[in-house]
Structure 1
Amino acid sequence: MSLIDAIISRKFVVFGRAGMDMFADPVGTKSELAETFRADLGGSSANICAGLVKLGCEAALVTSISDDAVGRFAQNRLERYGVNTRYLRTVGGEYRLSLAVYESCIEDFQNVIYRNGAVDFQVTNDDVDRVDYNAFGALITAGTVFASEPSRGSTFRAFDNARAAGMPVIFDIDYRPYSWPSPEVAAEVLSRAGDASDLIVGNDEEFGFMAGGIEKGLSKARELAASGKMVIYKMGEDGAITLADGAEIRTGIYPVTAVKPNGAGDSFMAGLLAGIADGLSVKDAVLQGSACASIVVSQPGCAPAMPTPAELEAFLAAHAGPTHP
């Protein structure tokens, strides 16, 4: 199945972490001064799932959760958002769900991550082998899954399973230095994942990291695209370059007043894929992803800020843009 046809199926199996987000309330409050925090679903792959479902797609998350109240909180929130939790596995012992504590205040923004003994790294070969790959159009993964074993090996095994089922692989580089044993290991493993993928999404720093220097990032993206992949090279306020079929498409962004940076990439991915599934051109789908990213950074929380079609339509009607790249 081609990449575009797979996305049009609107059925995605997503690998990576679910977590709990706690964010200071009200907007503008620094975490260290907060008296109240709100809690909701977090974690890059879980956010992508929530974003896809809100935009009318189907998404199943493959991950491990902790056998405690926090793990059950994440599962309950996933189900509340309509995400298929069939492939979640509960792990006992001292493994814990990822926790992010952050603020809705962009100046000197602080995001405190708790990932000691992260349970999402405990996904095994058995976990990925019990997925019915024929029930989905495409596999999505965020790069954090590759930071440790056994999830690193099991996710590469999932890539092989997807290939055997004729499914394309969609890869969000999502480099988080705190999860990796060393930059050298990260660069080697993430490059291997990129080589095995059909659609690669990342920012200029992530491609630069894979290439050995930020100044080499665009060359790395072009190299991957030349091998037949679709590559989206994001540049923050400078928009994005989409490389596919020998062409380079430059797109801008929708300026907003941000209250946090979290969740932008996750929402971009959901908006991009939902746009392609809806029949938009690749350029317009990238712009839809950019609009979704702007929506999420302008609101507190990540999963709860992912837009519905009606919210996306209202945003586009009310906001100027996109900027010209």
Structure 2
Amino acid sequence: MAPPSPPPPEPFDLITMGRSSIDLYANDIGAPFERIESFAAYVGGSPTNIAVGARRLGLRTALLSAVGDDKVGDFILHFLAREGVYTGFIPRKPGRRSSAVVLGIQPPDTFPLVYYREGAADTALTIDDVLAARVETAGALEISGTGLAKEPGRSATFFAAERARTAGKPVFLDLDFRADQWHDPRAFGVNVRAILPLVSVAIGTEEEVNAAMLTRPEDLEIRHQQISAPIIKGDLGANIAQLLGAPSGPELLVVKRGAQGASLYRRGGERQDVPGFPVEVFNVLGAGDAFASGFIYGQLKGWDAYKSARLGNACGAIVVTRHGCANFMGYFDEVMAFVEARGGF
């Protein structure tokens, strides 16, 4: 059994909300998926990764997720407790299963994914689970696009964002587009656009920004089962302008650009590019979550957006040189040394 979670500290710096899973990463690097002989077991899920990454940087973090009454749930809770991420807001959901992901690694640019999320426990989060977590008392809330894919988790996510914003707390939205989690990928954009008025900062890749405005199914293509890296056609500039042009919504859209770093788009139309850190890529999965953990850390410490994104780029650069996601997030001293060795902020 997973160890019991201690009483929560008050307040948390950050509560992240959404999916959690066991991640099985191929040990046979470069092998075709059908020839993989063994996997390493880690913990994953975008909000889970961000909670761990931010905790390793020094924030007091809690995860609002759910697991099944199963051994995979024990595995996830044990890892989080060991990392110091508060698990008291992670209920067991009877009749549901803890989620799983299986990943192949074929560097430099092919990473096929298989999700096992039918009846996933974290999609069953409820409004009562949000009330129990008291998200409005935390310094900030982080939510994800995948958390909007199914009920009752969708309503719980909207409710959490509403509670946080009413309390004057920042809400960070990781767009986190996974096309196979939606009955229609266009529904992703409908829900993202609906929740944007409750969001302070939105974070996503160029593909995810285009997905938020997707109207034609033929503009979406997934090659080699790379669920996390689809090809999505669209006018990126126009889509950014539309997402930021609503009467209410995020003041900042952060677009992750991989090796090129990130770009900051402000509501008034200003763009600021933030250079990345060149490294040899081993596995790109988890880099965006590492970026988010660094960026959110900087924002909650009062840093400007440029410096926060620069730290996020460093966190992402460290993770792409490693095998997995949450288990390989950088620690504060390690990340700061990495930045300093490469010219600083």
Same fold by TM-score greater than 0.5: yes
Distance of 1:181 and 1:199 partners within structure 2: 26
- Map of 2:97 onto structure 1: 96
- Map of 1:145 onto structure 2: 147
Deviations along 1:242-298, one digit per CA (max 9) or x if unpaired, are: 123633211222122212221111101001111233443311211111111111111
Q: What is the aligned residue count?
A: 313
- Map of 2:7 onto structure 1: none
Give the 3-state SS of the residue equivalent to 1:291 in structure 2.
helix
Identify the match of residue 234 of structure 1 among 256, 267, 277.
Answer: 256
Contact persistence 1:23–1:31 (CA under 8 A): no
Distance of 1:318 and 1:168 partners within structure 2: 32
- Residues 241-280 of structure 1 mapped to structure 2, 5 A cutoff: 241-244=263-266, 246=268, 247-280=270-303
- Residues 21-170 of structure 1 mapped to structure 2, 5 A cutoff: 21-25=23-27, 28=30, 31-93=33-95, 95-107=96-108, 108-170=110-172
Distance of 1:53 and 1:316 partners within structure 2: 19
- Which has more helix, going by share of residues? 1
Contact persistence 2:136–2:163 (CA under 8 A): no
Contact persistence 1:24–1:30 (CA under 8 A): no
Distance 1:105 1:313, change over 3 A: farther
Q: Answer with 23-32 or 117-126: which moved more.
A: 23-32
Letter in structure 1 aligned against 2:255: Y
Q: Answer with 206-215 or 143-152: which moved more.
A: 206-215
Q: CA deviation at 1:317?
A: 4.3
Q: Answer with 145-154 or 275-284: which moved more.
A: 275-284
Identify the match of residue 240 of structure 2 among 213, 216, 221.
Answer: 221
Distance 1:184 1:33, change over 3 A: closer
Unaligned runs of 5+ in 1: 1-8
Give the 3-state SS of the residue equivalent to 1:87 in structure 2.
coil
Letter in structure 2 aligned against 1:241: S
Distance of 2:72 and 2:64 partners within structure 1: 17
Q: Answer with 245-254 or 215-224: which moved more.
A: 215-224
Q: CA deviation at 1:104?
A: 4.1
Distance of 1:237 and 1:172 partners within structure 2: 19
Q: Answer with 254-263 or 50-59: which moved more.
A: 254-263
Distance 1:104 1:295, change over 3 A: farther
Distance of 2:172 and 2:99 partners within structure 1: 23
Distance of 1:76 and 1:127 partners within structure 2: 20
Q: CA deviation at 1:166?
A: 2.2
Give the 3-state SS of the residue equivalent to 2:97 in structure 1.
coil
- Which has more strand, going by share of residues? 1
Distance of 1:154 and 1:278 partners within structure 2: 28
Q: CA deviation at 1:219?
A: 2.7
Give the 3-state SS of the residue equivalent to 2:23 in structure 1.
strand
- Whether 1:171 and 2:173 are equivalent positions in the alignment is yes
Letter in structure 1 aligned against 2:101: A
Contact persistence 1:142–1:171 (CA under 8 A): yes
- Map of 1:3 onto structure 2: none
State the TM-score, normalizing by the size of structure 2.
Answer: 0.84
- Map of 2:13 onto structure 1: 11
Give the 3-state SS of the residue equivalent to 1:91 in structure 2.
coil
Letter in structure 2 aligned against 1:310: D
Distance of 1:10 and 1:120 partners within structure 2: 21
Contact persistence 2:296–2:308 (CA under 8 A): yes
Indicate the RMSD between aligned Cα atoms, in angstroms: 2.3
State the TM-score, normalizing by the size of structure 1.
Answer: 0.88
Distance of 2:159 and 2:40 partners within structure 1: 37
Contact persistence 2:261–2:277 (CA under 8 A): no
Contact persistence 1:23–1:39 (CA under 8 A): yes
Q: CA deviation at 1:102?
A: 1.5
Work out the percentage of aligned pairs sharing the same amino acid.
Answer: 33
Distance of 1:184 and 1:103 partners within structure 2: 27
Letter in structure 2 aligned against 1:96: R
Distance of 2:336 and 2:255 partners within structure 1: 25
Q: CA deviation at 1:314?
A: 3.3
Q: Answer with 170-179 or 248-257: which moved more.
A: 248-257
